Amino acid sequence: MPSGDHGPGSISDDDPSFAQKLGYLFEHSRDENGVPYTGKKIAERANRLGYSLSDAYISQLRTGKARTPSFRTVEAIARAFDVSVTYFLANPEEDLDRVRQQRDYVALLATTGTFLSGADVGRLDPDTIDVLIDLLKVVKARAIDNPDHTNEGPSAPQDHSPA
């Protein structure tokens, strides 16, 4: 890992490899006695949790000789280190940013009384959500500036012909 003070659930912006993330855990995690973990100890812990993992394979993952562990292996290592599987799979900050972005979008939909029938927000890319958030902020600002304007939908056409 780069030399910043990143905790076991954090990673740097340059998205380190699996080997780097695993190496970081070995460097910074300690057992209940304060002793750094060894590959053997992590394999034993994983095996006690019901997984099948060898010290030799962990060594290959640490050095980068093995680069594509199965999800089950990633899960075993994560559980043995007592960290979330997402530590290895994604950039947690990026995931949190996306969740915050979607939360803001949904909140703006609610406060502006806007409905997107049939829209699957989870399938929208971040740039589209940003554009929609900006648009909804304008709608919200106009609603605040014109509180007398009710949101009753389009009005019926007026008939101006003589009776």
Please give the structure tokens belonging to residue 21: 């993330």
The top-level CATH class assigned to 18-89 is: mainly alpha
Task: State pLDDT tens for residues 113-163.
Answer: 665 555 555 666 677 777 777 777 787 788 778 776 555 444 444 444 454
Task: State pLDDT tens for residues 78-87.
Answer: 999 999 888 8
Q: What is the pTM of this model?
A: 0.50
Task: State pLDDT tens for residues 122-131.
Answer: 666 677 777 7
Q: Which own/partner pairs from 72-80 qualify as long-range (CB within 8 Å, at least 24 positions apart)?
A: 74/18, 75/51, 76/46, 76/49, 76/51, 76/52, 77/22, 77/42, 77/46, 77/53, 79/45, 79/46, 79/49, 79/51, 80/42, 80/43, 80/45, 80/46, 80/49, 80/51, 80/53
Q: Where are the domains of the chain?
A: 18-89, 92-145
Max distance between CA atoms of the chain, in angstroms, equals 93
Cα separation, 79 vs 156, in Å, equals: 62
pLDDT at 119: 58
